[in-house]
Amino acid sequence: MVVVTASGALAPGPLFAANLLQGAKGGLKSGFMMSVGHTLVELPLVILIALGISSVMNFPGFSLVVGLVGGCALIGFGLVQIVGAARHQIKLDEVQEAGIQKKALVLGVGLTALNPYFILWWLTVGLGLVVQAVELGALLGVLIMYVSHVWMDYAWLTGTAYLSARGRMLIGGRGYRLLLLSLAAFLIYFGVGFIARSLFQFNILP
């Protein structure tokens, strides 16, 4: 079970890219808050699946809406980061922004809820885990299964956020600016991919 859940927890994606971006500014605490935001969406989703309400998410237009909104949100956030990094002189001793932890929490919620591939993973691979957990111990089994999964999210996101912050001090101001621009471009790439795949899936694009 742990090996299977690792395929979801450790997969690279927009949440991971945003975590590196925020981690470079806020360090380990940003990674922790990003994990909390992720949990605030993931745990209710897992419980809903266990209760048999996943059919609502199979509505034909659901993935299209999530893909379009999520893609636009990623592109918008990436552009904001690019503008900020390009316009302002970055001083390494001032990057600990006052609201960075709150921003990380909000991003954790948003980039989880608006990621159609995260939802798809739980409705396919994760669904099998939920079914097994229900068979073994009903709702308690689901909670045990989830705990065995979610600790990897916290370890992975807090660990990589910490390393991102440490790397910031090693590469200097110019390198840090390039790091932010690269990660922001990575988010825009994911956003465009979300939108394109959603449109192709529903035959809106040729």
**Does residue 72 belong to any structural domain of this protein?**
yes
- What mean pLDDT do residues 126-145 have? 80
Span between the terminal Cα atoms of the chain, in Å: 40
Angle at 18 between CA 200 and CA 70, to 5 degrees: 30
**Does residue 7 belong to any structural domain of this protein?**
no
149: its two tokens: 């999964």
Least confident segment among 74-83, 89-98, 128-137, 148-157: 89-98
Instruction: Judge whether residue 178 has pLDDT over 60.
Output: yes
Instruction: Judge whether residue 117 has pLDDT over 90.
Output: no
**Does residue 4 belong to any structural domain of this protein?**
no
- What mean pLDDT do residues 101-108 have? 84
**Does residue 2 belong to any structural domain of this protein?**
no
**Does residue 70 belong to any structural domain of this protein?**
yes
Structure confidence at residue 56 (pLDDT): 54
Instruction: Judge whether residue 1 has pLDDT over 70.
Output: no
pLDDT band at 94; cut points 50, 70, 90: very low
HEC per residue, the chain: CHHHHHHHHCCCCHHHHHHHHHHHHHCHHHHHHHHHHHHHHHHHHHHHHHCCCHHHHHCCCHHHHHHHHHHHHHHHHHHHHHHHHHHCCCCHHHCCCCCHHHHHHHHHHHHHHCCHHHHHHHHCHHHHHHHHHHHHHHHHHHHHHHHHHHHHHHHHHHHHHHHHHHHHHHHHHHHHHHHHHHHHHHHHHHHHHHHHHHHHHCCCCC
Structure confidence at residue 88 (pLDDT): 53
**Does residue 5 belong to any structural domain of this protein?**
no
Average pLDDT taken over every residue of the chain:
76
Closest Cα to residue 194, out of 58, 14, 21, 56?
Answer: 14
**Does residue 8 belong to any structural domain of this protein?**
no
By the 8 A CB rule, do 195 and 68 touch?
yes
Q: Which domain holds residue 103?
A: 14-201
pTM assigned to the model = 0.70
> Which tops the pLDDT comparison, 78 or 60?
78
Total structural domains within the chain: 1
Please state, in angstroms and rounded to a whole number, the distance separating the CA atoms of residues 140 and 134: 8
Give the total residue count for the chain.
206
Structure confidence at residue 152 (pLDDT): 85
